[in-house]
Structure 1
């Protein structure tokens, strides 16, 4: 029986070595997975940057837009950072994604590398759990003009420079003043991002099905400034009141340097990321495993 996903894009994590090449084990892993997919009856297409950095021959190559137009599935080999980078870019195409975890934690790349050969075949034939996670859209407004914009899947973070003091931020939600906060920074996190930086800053975890965000101050000057859960239908606006070397990060991969008076507007994007998980997958099992809950329990 032919697989449900006939044309599969392979997107890899690659680690350049000192000599300027790429770690051999990463290349071998991708090549092994590519051959495995072909044995399952799939046509393999290498994502362009993956192909350029690994030098793997004999495979068709496509950029992200080409993958979105031509491929039935994206298979991401790496950690959550690798998945975040490609998920934002493929979301507008609606391409489903499966993650093979080659990193350490892996909340959204949930197939272990040493188990993919047993787990992938039924998924390729339609036996999987699917979930959809919305992206965040953020833009920076300066003197009435948009000077920077980006999509984020985890979080939008406004923070101070490494050697500067606190920043003062005016925070509005749905057009209404929430607070003026003095802190090291502020995190606006999606449910996906609630287990990332926001969690280490003291924020709560949000189940992925909750249409909400969590607003988490980073080391606030006033300890009564606590995390708050908001509807993701409401726009969050953050204005830079004071502070030096203030910046905004979007999934920690995009950066905008900010000036006093700049406003960062965060809204729910029209795009969602489609994740496919093995049959039987559930969010709470992921939390137990990744956060080591109930170790030694029954």
Structure 2
């Protein structure tokens, strides 16, 4: 089995877990690869790990059976952008805090690898959001797992985001910004701005304003078959747009459209994982703060 491990960075205290992960994978006869970024941090940390190949080009991922993301949800989002159209199944090992996406605890790496080799899992397809623009943005990686966001920049003044669904005028949002989130992204930035939680298997986007001027404006759920276009007004000449954790500045002349990406992110789901259990635990549902 060919497996690549990817990570952005990690704290010193996680080194023993990473050493154990690599050792357990070797014990199963894995043909092991590390991304260049992860390899550099591993070397810098002083971890005792050998017997791997540093991935040369991104296209080599096409031949992998799995990619293991070591980090928090941000690392998993980065892994999704790395894997892209190759649709290699991704396993998320959580060294962060929240872990809506990276759900495997660092203490369970040995068990997780065994389950992986036993085939005791399912693969869940998660839709991605694609950005089309009349200029090249995000270094040719115009998709994200969580959300696309338009946000004000360099001023306290709000912006106006004129929004259209399949060419039909929806609304002009007077706000600090606007989010279009996938079902996966509904537990992220959109949630913090008052957006609804959406089951990962739903076929929807949610449009959520950020601090809207009109208090009667509410988040709106639309089909993921919709094409959503925008034009932006404001006192500033530049605005920020983002895909997940990647952001860039654009001017008001840029034409922006989002829609569902042609390919998906394939996340490995172990049989003891439940999205609803995770919601209850991470959001402290049913927890009495008085006790």
- 1:88 and 1:135 in contact (8 A); partners too: no
Asked if the contact 1:241/1:261 (under 8 Å) is kept, the reply is no
Of residues 81, 86, 95 in structure 2, which corresponds to 1:88?
Answer: 81
> CA shift at 1:258, angstroms?
2.2
Coordinate RMSD, CA, aligned: 1.9
Shift of 1:246: 1.5
Residue of structure 2 in register with 1:205 after alignment = 197
Q: Which residue of 2 aligns with 1:234?
A: 226
Structural mapping, 1:111-150, within 5 Å: 111-141=104-134, 146-148=135-137, 150=142
Aligned to 1:247: 240
Give the superposition deviation at 1:7. Answer: 1.4
So what's the TM-score if we normalise by structure 1? 0.88
The equivalent of 1:14 in structure 2 is 9
The alpha-carbon distance between structure 1 residues 181 and 69, as it changes in their structure 2 partners (threshold 3 A), is closer
SS at match of 1:208: coil
Q: Report how far residue 239 of structure 1 moved.
A: 0.6
1:116-149 Cα offsets, whole Å, 9 max, x none, are 22233022221002200111111333xxxx3425
Return the alpha-carbon distance in structure 2 between the equivalents of residues 26 and 178 of structure 1.
48
Could you tell me which residue of structure 1 aligns to residue 179 of structure 2? 187
Q: Greater CA deviation, 256-265 or 286-295?
A: 256-265
Residue 70 of structure 1 and its aligned partner are, at CA, apart by 2.5
3-state SS, counterpart of residue 258 of structure 1: strand
SS at 2:222 equivalent: strand
In the alignment, is the contact (CA less than 8 A) between 2:161 and 2:173 conserved in 1? yes
- Work out whether residues 88 and 273 of structure 1, in 8 Å CA contact, stay in contact via their aligned partners in 2: no
Residue equivalent to 1:285: 277
| Residue 62, structure 1, aligned to residue 55, structure 2 | yes
TM-score, normalised by the number of residues in structure 2: 0.90
What secondary structure is seen at the aligned counterpart in 1 of 2:232?
A: strand
1:20-99 correspondence runs (5 A): 23-55=11-43, 57-63=50-56, 65-99=58-92
1:202, distance to aligned residue in structure 2 (A): 0.3
Once the two structures are TM-superposed, the CA of residue 41 in structure 1 deviates from its matched residue by 2.7
CA distance in 2, matches of 1:138, 1:243: 24
How far apart, CA to CA, are the structure 1 residues paired with 2:248 and 2:229?
A: 15
Map Cα deviations across residues 83-109 of structure 1 (whole Å, 9 max, x no partner).
Answer: 000112213112101111100001111
Query: Deviation at 1:238?
Result: 1.2
Q: Closer, same or farther in 2 for the Cα pair 1:226/1:88, shift >3 Å? A: same
Tell me the equivalent position of 1:18: none
Number of equivalenced pairs: 280
Distance 2:33 2:239 in 1: 41
Is the Cα contact below 8 Å between 1:9 and 1:67 reproduced in 2?
no
* Alpha-carbon spacing, 1:71–1:228, altered in 2? closer, same or farther (3 Å): same
